[in-house]
Structure 1
């Protein structure tokens, strides 16, 4: 569970900012292992338990197949940054309809990127009253952030990324996964963050090196109600 104080502040801010006549899209982003899924799941549960309507969207469900992700003509960091996620499909099938029509009711066949098979069947239901929680990497890209009403960036340093990858990924993918982090994922994230700095494009920045004690580094100007 993410820090309860942070979750409570986020819930108050979201409730205050939610327009009455359309969905609110909250983006939770950061580098690999930053704690995006953890925070998104906890926030989604808190909003639901408080009586709200929510829809959780995982960017990982929109991975491209291996044949499209791997581009031998490009360095691995560029392959990762440019071709890992099918952002055009995410925008076309979900984010654009949510913004244009203010509702979505659709089932999508999605890729399980671990098995590289189209084996995920996911339903999405959004109404004007819904808070959409969108979590994943690379959400500061302009084609995505134009749809996001409130962007949260979870900041962690590279030693923390590698330590978490050792605990999370090595048991499933083997020790060689750490070399991919050093060779591909971390350099790709550096390139992305240099092009789309969180200090400019994120509304909220949280130092999330310690899941139990996240520190807010940036928060939007708020009213007494939002605090």
Structure 2
């Protein structure tokens, strides 16, 4: 069974009397969007109402993202996202006790500008799938009913990310220090490999492999 099918079955087994909230996490270039889209397709094919969102829809503008310096790893980890609005506009409305009226994005990073989307109303049994870095942070961990960490070494993830037209494919390039060291800060502080319900070795995009809990890295 492909891991997407396994994850879909695990999510569908969760109580359907409220929105089920799922996070797909991993370093830049780990394959989060690819996996989340495939999972959404799998769930939709089984009759589920899927809401797809990305943490990138809640990025801060450059003046906030780069306030510690454009090359700062700590700035990358601590200042990239507006978690207040992400929780208030997306996650809280789709949580138990929420009104189900959510906004899936407030920022377009490609155009570096705010976007104004109309609120949408989620069915009670919808499934929210959010892909994004840092989604096992303390501010977000309580929201997820199921989460996945995609384990990929930097010597694979960095060239993979660069192949999409962003950044230098060399992990040792100075411009990559911000991203690699920022991710290491996150892993050391939040241990997403142990917080996630499922960890997959996603070095091979076409063949993700589960990593047993006892084999997961601690940092």
TM tier relative to shorter chain? 0.7 to 0.9
- Greater fraction of residues in strand: 1
Of 199, 202, 206, the residue aligned with 2:196 is: 202
**Kindly tell me: are residues 109 and 201 of structure 1, through their superposed partners in 2, closer, same or farther at Cα, counting changes over 3 Å?**
closer
- Greater fraction of residues in helix: 1
Of 7, 17, 22, the residue aligned with 1:10 is: 7
**Kindly tell me: are residues 213 and 174 of structure 1, through their superposed partners in 2, closer, same or farther at Cα, counting changes over 3 Å?**
closer
> Alpha-carbon deviation of 1:214?
0.8
**Kindly tell me: are residues 167 and 203 of structure 1, through their superposed partners in 2, closer, same or farther at Cα, counting changes over 3 Å?**
same
Paired residue secondary structure (1:97) = coil
**1:144 and 2:140 are equivalent in the alignment:** yes
Paired residue secondary structure (2:111) = coil
User: RMSD of the TM alignment (CA)?
Assistant: 2.5
> Alpha-carbon deviation of 1:100?
3.7
Paired residue secondary structure (2:16) = coil
Paired residue secondary structure (2:130) = strand
Structure 1, 45-54 or 103-112: larger mean CA deviation: 103-112
CA distance, structure 1, for counterparts of residue 139 and residue 104 of structure 2: 21
Structure 1, 175-184 or 129-138: larger mean CA deviation: 175-184
- The answer to whether the 8 A contact 2:57-2:105 is kept is no
CA distance, structure 1, for counterparts of residue 118 and residue 133 of structure 2: 19
Paired residue secondary structure (1:26) = strand
CA distance, structure 1, for counterparts of residue 86 and residue 8 of structure 2: 25
Of 2, 25, 33, the residue aligned with 1:29 is: 25
Unaligned 5+ segments in structure 1 are 220-227
Q: May I ask how many residue pairs the two structures share in their alignment?
A: 213
Paired residue secondary structure (2:50) = strand
CA distance, structure 1, for counterparts of residue 37 and residue 119 of structure 2: 17
**Kindly tell me: are residues 208 and 42 of structure 1, through their superposed partners in 2, closer, same or farther at Cα, counting changes over 3 Å?**
same
Indicate the residue corresponding to 1:126 in structure 2: 122
Indicate the residue corresponding to 1:183 in structure 2: 177
Indicate the residue corresponding to 2:52 in structure 1: 56
- The answer to whether the 8 A contact 2:90-2:104 is kept is no
CA distance, structure 2, for counterparts of residue 51 and residue 45 of structure 1: 10
Structure 1, 108-117 or 188-197: larger mean CA deviation: 108-117
> Alpha-carbon deviation of 1:211?
0.5
TM-score when scaled to structure 2?
Answer: 0.87
CA offsets per residue over residues 76-130 of structure 1, 9 Å max, x none? Answer: 0011000101111101111112114354234466221122112463654322211
Paired residue secondary structure (1:133) = strand
> Alpha-carbon deviation of 1:134?
1.2
Paired residue secondary structure (1:146) = helix
**1:90 and 2:108 are equivalent in the alignment:** no
> Alpha-carbon deviation of 1:142?
1.1
> Alpha-carbon deviation of 1:73?
6.5
Unaligned 5+ segments in structure 2 are 214-219
